[in-house]
Structure 1
Amino acid sequence: MESYLGLQARALNGQCAALFRVRTSVADVYMSVSRSNYGNDERAVVEVDCARFLRLWRADPRSEHTGLADGNPQIWRADPRLELAAEGFSFGEEDPVPLAEVSCPASAAVPYVAFTDGVMRTLWLAAYSAKSFPVECGVKDAEALQRLAGTPGSRWFSVAELVPPQAARARE
């Protein structure tokens, strides 16, 4: 996973998180995923290829974001909500933004990606030429997402693998 930098203790709450750096045309931006009190073995991180990911998103049959998914960088940059994503990314490595949360139902007749959270963050990355970036999904969706949109040569990781319990305790 090319974007993975390692573990970082967050200054605000001392919580340990997996830190990622995403290269864009304007700057490197930082994202993270943290352990929760439960379900870390059921949460996965997949590094996706931006173009392949956007194709899957455009195939979502029930998307409430079809207009955005079908857009292009010029349209996305004109959306005033993109400024909120830009502000979030502006805090850098010290306060990384959370990964977008998606699903990729393996049993779907036509494969697709749907968002739970993080549409504008993802569009900001796409609008500013990120070639790849990490997203969070359920472990049950990770294999399909990796196969359909994952970066070549990478594999998905559970949150438990990226932020093991001993790392979280060592930071306390």
Structure 2
Amino acid sequence: MLSTLKWKLEIKRLRQLSELRGQPALPELVEGHSRHPTWRIKVPGREDVYMCSPYATDDGYVILVDALKFNIGWLQAGPGLDDSCKLRRHMPADYKFHEAVIGFKHGIENPVPLAEVSYLEWGRRAGIRFTNGMTRSFWLLAHDVPAFPVFTDCHFSIDKIHEIAGLAEPMPVAMI
């Protein structure tokens, strides 16, 4: 019960921040870097970091998301699941957080793959779920990144994630 209350309070706080901040700038697509689409992600008070579409696929879509709204959509799935969102203050304590720190240090020479996400509805719960990339998403959110790209290959999820947090039309990876 207490953790559910903490989730609800975090969602309320993030909604207020989102209203105050307004729409963030889009991550920048880095032209001609590699055969995989790569984005520059602005990190407040730090050097930019780089992310690229998953290496193994040209299928699926990239969705540029508002970080606060994405965080809310992830929290709405609720606590107690393997891929539940942590509260922001707990994200740096994730057992693999140090791996994201190392991964993002490589910069444009070795961009971090986008998180692979979907939107699921089950019972009375619904929200953003992860196939891969939770820890790198914790890192981005813990560092107050305003916006970042995510990947999905689930057609049902494209519209749902875009509705929740999308900043621009979803992009087919094959067309980027």
Normalising by structure 1, we get a TM-score of 0.76
2:134 aligned with 1:146, yes or no? Answer: no
1:150 Cα offset (Å): 0.8
Match of 2:66 in 1: 49
- For residue 40 of structure 2, the aligned residue among 15, 18, 21 is 21
Percent identical across equivalent pairs?
A: 27
Match of 1:103 in 2: 118
Q: CA RMSD in A?
A: 2.4
Residues paired across the two proteins, number: 148
Counterparts of 2:95 and 2:86 in 1: how far apart (Å)?
17
- Preserved CA contact (<8 Å) 2:54 2:114: no
2:174 aligned with 1:160, yes or no? Answer: yes
**Shift in CA distance, 8/45, structure 1 to aligned 2, threshold 3 Å:** same
2:20 aligned with 1:2, yes or no? Answer: no
Letter of the 1:27 counterpart: E
1:82 Cα offset (Å): 1.2
- Preserved CA contact (<8 Å) 1:63 1:114: no
1:71 Cα offset (Å): 1.3
**Shift in CA distance, 101/5, structure 1 to aligned 2, threshold 3 Å:** same
Q: Deviations over 1:118-152 (max 9, x none)?
A: 0110000001010110000025121221111112x
Match of 1:133, SS state, is strand
1:111 Cα offset (Å): 4.1
Match of 2:37, SS state, is strand
Letter of the 2:68 counterpart: A
Structure 1: gaps of 5 or more residues: 10-15, 163-172
Match of 2:58 in 1: 40
Which aligned runs of 4 or more in structure 1 are off by greater than 6 angstroms?
106-109
Counterparts of 1:161 and 1:134 in 2: how far apart (Å)?
15
RCO comparison, higher one (Cα < 8 Å, 6+): 1
1:64 Cα offset (Å): 1.1
Normalising by structure 2, we get a TM-score of 0.74
Moved more, 141-150 or 118-127: 141-150
Greater helix content: 2
